[in-house]
Structure 1
């Protein structure tokens, strides 16, 4: 069963707000955690859980959007919005994988720091640094891609919803009337 209507409104127009908030929030949290390990330690399990909620919200919004697409007049703007919306899931999945990687590497590096043995610590810290740098670079790239994609999808959705749906001049009886 899919969520299609909430309080008489198409669910997509409501659920999409979770995506609009959670994708940039997850992207920011992943980048901060990847670049600043102590912040990742403070976020703890919340980081991958936030990314999991983000990942789950994308197909819910997409499914609700597909239902809505079948219930509105189709035009090029609606089709473009739907096409762009279908591309967000891989970005959300990437954020989730990186959130888990940041969480895991931060936990692992904390436990390795407490491990005995100077030689092991040097080799491990070198490989941990390489892993951290790789995760940080990937995090920045995926976070940027996800946020840009959400912006593009939202912009196309606003154009699809509002194209020719308002007047650029005030209608009579509005706030600016003097009569």
Structure 2
């Protein structure tokens, strides 16, 4: 299915999308984990990016396996393939963290709205007092959710980023390692010319 399009391998096309979306998701989740204002402002953005990363990762792997069947086998390609297979668990953890941070951000926005309404001069009622007491009782649970989501978000964002760099580096070595000379080309005017 994900083999070629117009006679060209699909893998480079999908991989370019993956190499943009996955790091963008990692940065968005990282910011949501450490910056409350971004977490409240961003809303669904980290979740959408993380879900897109979860979708693109297996597509990249599948198209890479199709391309692997068409090229000469080498240790570099095998290393690249093995590293690529390790990305999916990282992006799944990233998506879980993004959802948890979204829930935390939504609660923060709700608490902020309630606090602003309370400061606007509304008079407390018996239900308002009960709601405040309930909010205080669940504050510990919200802190645990925030802490857990932030730690998971940080670990997943760093792990995802490191894995993407390793995969990209190994892919570049496999694709270009033999094609690029290790010695620099001669400087202009230093080489032989036919115009003598």
Let me know the Cα RMSD of the aligned residues: 2.2
Counterpart position of 1:15: 14
For residue 164 of structure 2, the aligned residue among 127, 150, 158 is 150
- 8 Å CA contact 1:112–1:124 kept in 2: the answer is no
User: Within 1, Cα distance between the matches of 2:92 and 2:58?
Assistant: 11
Say which is worse superposed, 95-104 or 8-17, in terms of deviation. Answer: 8-17
Q: Does structure 1 residue 68 correspond to structure 2 residue 67?
A: yes
Counterpart position of 2:109: 110
- 8 Å CA contact 2:32–2:101 kept in 1: the answer is yes
3-state DSSP of counterpart to 1:166: coil
Cα pair distance change 1:129/1:77, threshold 3 Å: same
User: Within 2, Cα distance between the matches of 1:164 and 1:122?
Assistant: 63
- Superposition deviation, residue 171 in structure 1: 6.8
Counterpart position of 2:120: none
Counterpart position of 1:133: 147
3-state DSSP of counterpart to 2:181: coil
Q: Does structure 1 residue 34 correspond to structure 2 residue 60?
A: no
- Superposition deviation, residue 5 in structure 1: 2.0
Task: Output one character per residue of 1:139-171: Cα deviation in whole Å (capped at 9) or x when no partner.
Answer: 111110000001111111111112222323467
User: Within 2, Cα distance between the matches of 1:37 and 1:167?
Assistant: 48
Counterpart position of 1:123: 137
Task: Output one character per residue of 1:13-40: Cα deviation in whole Å (capped at 9) or x when no partner.
Answer: 1211122111111111111112223312
Larger radius of gyration: 2
3-state DSSP of counterpart to 1:98: helix
User: Within 1, Cα distance between the matches of 2:70 and 2:188?
Assistant: 33
User: Within 2, Cα distance between the matches of 1:128 and 1:171?
Assistant: 60
TM-score of the pair, normalised by structure 2: 0.81
For residue 173 of structure 2, the aligned residue among 131, 137, 159 is 159
Counterpart position of 1:82: 81
